[in-house]
Amino acid sequence: MQSSASTADGTVAPVPRLAMHFASLEVQNHAARLGMWLFLATEILLFAGLFVCYGVYRFLFPEAWAACSRSLDLTLGTVNTIVLITSSLTAALAVHYAKEGKNKMVAVQILLTLAMAIGFLVIKYFEYAHKFHIGTLPGRYYFYEGIQLPGAPLYFTVYFCATALHGLHVVIGMIVLGFSMVRALKRGDFGPNNYTQVELGSMYWHLVDLVWIFLFPLLYLV
């Protein structure tokens, strides 16, 4: 049976339903967190494959890797890094306010996170558009005359695979956080006993941020 508890903003937040196979809500929430940590571990393994490819090809084609890295827009990459790191702060604040039952503030913090995520994707769109225009494309589609070194097409293959996969994770994270924002805004669901959904969504978003923290120096600062 689902009960309820008063929150800091005056609304009544329901306590999550306890599944039959858990002894308590604490155990149930711990299991949810453990499941998320295991899922995040598989995500790290996914990106680890790309990092291995990056390391191998950079060792084989160091001159091409350095030249291609200098062709990227460092300013846009830096701005995107700042935007994404800041979005992790607002995602963490959403968890903080969810624990206090301040559902309106949860919605505000998630909205700020989503706004910065959109900004990140817009900047990445302009980067992609420029690369399509000048021909710094992956594999056999590469036709940029400014860098004619063996390995240059491979660099942009890794670049597009890594950043596109990361961008997909940004979109997924936006969907997850957006669902939490709707629950906070319309139903006032979150409180001291019911904030796991926001916490798990924030954990996923921190992974998105962490992956970019590795991608930025590897791709832009070679």
List, run by run, the mean pLDDT of 10-residue segments along the chain (222 residues). 47 59 65 86 92 93 93 94 95 94 94 97 96 92 91 94 95 95 87 88 94 94 84
* Res 45: pLDDT: 92
The pTM of this model reads 0.86
Kindly state the tokens that stand for 10: 């005056």
Q: How far is CA 144 from CA 152, 153, 209, in A?
A: 9, 9, 31
Got the DSSP string for 125-165? HHHHHHHHHHT--SGGG---TT---TTHHHHHHHHHHHHHH
Residue-range domains of the chain with CATH: 21-220 (1.20.120.80)
